[in-house]
Amino acid sequence: MLLHGNIKHIIGHRSPLIYGHFIEHFHRQIYGGIYDPNSPLSDEDGFRTDVIDALKKIKIPILRWPGGCFVSSYHWKDAVGSKRMPFFDKAWRVEDPSTFGTDEYIMLCRKINCEPYICTNAGTGTAEEMSDWVEYCNLETEGKYAKWRIENGFPSPHKVKYWSIGNENYGFWEIGAKDSKEWSRLVKESVKMIKHVDPLTQLSAAALTDLDWNIHLLTEAGDFLDWISIHQYWDPINQTNDYADYEQTMAYTHRIGHSIEKMRGLLTAMNLEKKIKIAFDEWNLRGWYHPNVHTIQQGITKEEYLYPRDKNDDNTKYTMADAIFTACFLNELNRNCDIVGMANYAPAVNTRGCIFTYPEGIVLRSTYHVFDLYVNYMGDIVLNTWSENMPFITVQNKAKENLDISALDILVSKWSDKPGIAVAAVNKNPLNFQSLQLDIAGAKGNVKHFCLMGESTESYNDINHEEVKIQKKDLGSFSDNREIILPPHSINIIQIL
C-alpha cells in the first residue's frame, strides 16, 4: 500500500485525555488491585507501587471513578473520614468496606499525576448529594463539606475539574434507571447545583447514540454540559464469556467508529458540535464477565453470580486480537480528535484491564503495550492522509457473515513541540506481511520502527510468560516512498525524526 500525506495537512490536535482510563469498585480493580494495604509491594498509603509505576509509564492523563454500575447506588459520604461505613453494593452484590473513598482516590490520582474524573450517583442519588460531593472536593472552606475535608486531613481543595452525571441510567440493568424525560430533568437540576458550587467544573452526562435520549437531554441541559458520555464494549460476553476469536475480533474493527459518527451527527443536528465534546468514557473490546447480575432471573448462589468473575483474570485470553483492536480504536479516536475530547479504557487494572496484579507482581497484558506505543511514541497533531492499493482481508463475524475489511489501519501524526512524524500502522492480516510505502511530503530524518507483536495471533503475556513485547529497529535515513514491511498481526510505530 502507498500512503500519501503532507506534514502541513492537519486534521487536528488530539487531547491527551483520549488515552484516559477507568477504574471501578468491581472485583479486584480497587481492592486487591491498585489498593492493597496489606501487600509488601504497597506504599505507606496502601497503593501497589508496581501498579503505580506501570500507570505512570503510560502517562494516564485522566482516571474515571468509582463506576460504572457501582456508582448508581453509591453514597460518597459513607467512605470519607474516620468513621467508614461498610455497605452492601447492590450493583455487584458484595460488601464494600469503604476503606477506599474520595480521599484515597485523589491520593491515587496525585501519585500517578493524572486528572480525577468523578462519576456521580444519578441512580439513587440526588442533585444535592452530587453537589455536596463537589463542595467536599472543590470549596476552600465554605460550608460543612469543605470543613469536613479539612477535618479529614486535606486542607486544600482536591480541585476535581471533571464530573459526570450518572452512569448508563438509560439501561434496564442500571439501579435507578430513568426514561429520557426523567433523565433530562435530573441532569439539568444536578448540573445547575454543581455549577452553583463550582462554575469551573466541566460536566458530562450519560448518553446514548439515540435521538430521543439526546434530544431530551441536550434540550434540557445542553447549556450546562461540556461533554456527553458514551460507552461501548464490542464483544458482549458479560453473560457467556465466549471470547471472539482473532478473525471475529477483526470483524469488530469494521466501522469501529460508528458510535462516534452517530453522536457527531446528533450534536451537529442540534448545533452543539462546537460546544459539547464526546467523552467515550468506557470502552474495551470485550465486556466484563459477570454472569447472572443484570437479569431478572438473577443468579441465586455465589457460584452462579459471584465466583465466575474470577474468569476475567485469565491472562491467556488477552492476545494480539485485543491489542490490534485497541490500536484500531485509538487510531479512530485520533482521527476524530475534533469532537472526541476524552476516552477511558475500561478498566485500567484487572478484570479486562491492561495490567493484571498478583501477590508477587504484575503482568503487562498485550493492550498495555499498545498504550505505551501511542502515549510515548506518537505525536499530538493528527495529519490527513490518503492511500492507494489498500489490501483487504475477508473475515467472518460471530453472526457467520463474511466481511471484506481493510487489512491495514494507518494514522500519521507529528509533534507540536518538535520536528518529525510518527506513523501508527496496524496490520490485521493474521498470516501475511504487508508492504507500506510512505510518501509524506516534508518527512525527513532517520527511521525508527517500533513493532508490537507475538509469534502468533494467540500470543499473550502471563506470570513468568512474556510473548508480546515491543521490538525496536533502526532503519536508517528516510527516502520518499520508503517501504516498511509490517509483520502479520502487528502494531507498528514508524518514527521519522
Instruction: State the minimum distance, in angstroms, from the CB of residue 249 to ligand AHR.
Output: 18
* DSSP, residue by residue, 229-262: EEEEEEE--TTT-----HHHHHHHTTTTTHHHHH
| C-alpha closest to that of 291 among 282, 283, 301 | 301
Of 91 and 340, which CB lies nearer to ligand AHR in the complex structure? 91
Of 284 and 427, which CB lies nearer to ligand AHR in the complex structure? 284
Q: Strands of 353-417 (E only): list them.
A: 355-358, 361-364, 381-388, 392-396, 402-406, 408-414
Task: Evaluate whether 91 touches 72 at the Cβ level (below 8 Å).
Answer: yes
| H helices present in 14-85, as ranges | 49-57
Give the total residue count for the chain.
497
Instruction: State the minimum distance, in angstroms, from the CB of residue 233 to ligand AHR.
Output: 7
Of 167 and 249, which CB lies nearer to ligand AHR in the complex structure? 167
Of 198 and 282, which CB lies nearer to ligand AHR in the complex structure? 282
The whole-angstrom separation of Cα 424 and Cα 414 is 11
Of 167 and 253, which CB lies nearer to ligand AHR in the complex structure? 167
Of 95 and 417, which CB lies nearer to ligand AHR in the complex structure? 95
Instruction: State the minimum distance, in angstroms, from the CB of residue 437 to ligand AHR.
Output: 41
Tell me which H or E stretch contains 343: strand 340-345
Helix (H, G, I), strand (E, B) or coil at 401: coil
* Sole residue written with cell 468491581: 26
Q: Which three cell numbers stand for residue 194?
A: 454543581
Instruction: State the minimum distance, in angstroms, from the CB of residue 278 to ligand AHR.
Output: 16
Instruction: State the minimum distance, in angstroms, from the CB of residue 247 to ligand AHR.
Output: 24
Instruction: State the minimum distance, in angstroms, from the CB of residue 119 to ligand AHR.
Output: 9
Provide the CA 243 distance to its chain's centre, in angstroms. 20
Of 138 and 344, which CB lies nearer to ligand AHR in the complex structure? 344
Of 318 and 478, which CB lies nearer to ligand AHR in the complex structure? 318
Provide the CA 281 distance to its chain's centre, in angstroms. 6
Kindly state the DSSP code that residue 145 receives in the 8-state scheme. Answer: H
The residue at minimum Cβ distance from ligand AHR is 68
The whole-angstrom separation of Cα 266 and Cα 138 is 33
Of 157 and 166, which CB lies nearer to ligand AHR in the complex structure? 166
Instruction: State the minimum distance, in angstroms, from the CB of residue 52 to ligand AHR.
Output: 23
Residues that bind ligand AHR (CB under 6 A): 24, 67-69, 167-168, 231, 238, 282, 287-288
Instruction: State the minimum distance, in angstroms, from the CB of residue 244 to ligand AHR.
Output: 16
Q: Strands of 72-171 (E only): list them.
A: 87-89, 94-96, 115-120, 162-165
Q: For 179-183, which contacts have Cβ atoms below 8 Å and span 24 or more sequence positions?
A: 180/212, 180/213, 180/215, 180/216, 180/217, 181/216, 183/122, 183/213, 183/216, 183/217
Instruction: State the minimum distance, in angstroms, from the CB of residue 294 to ligand AHR.
Output: 8
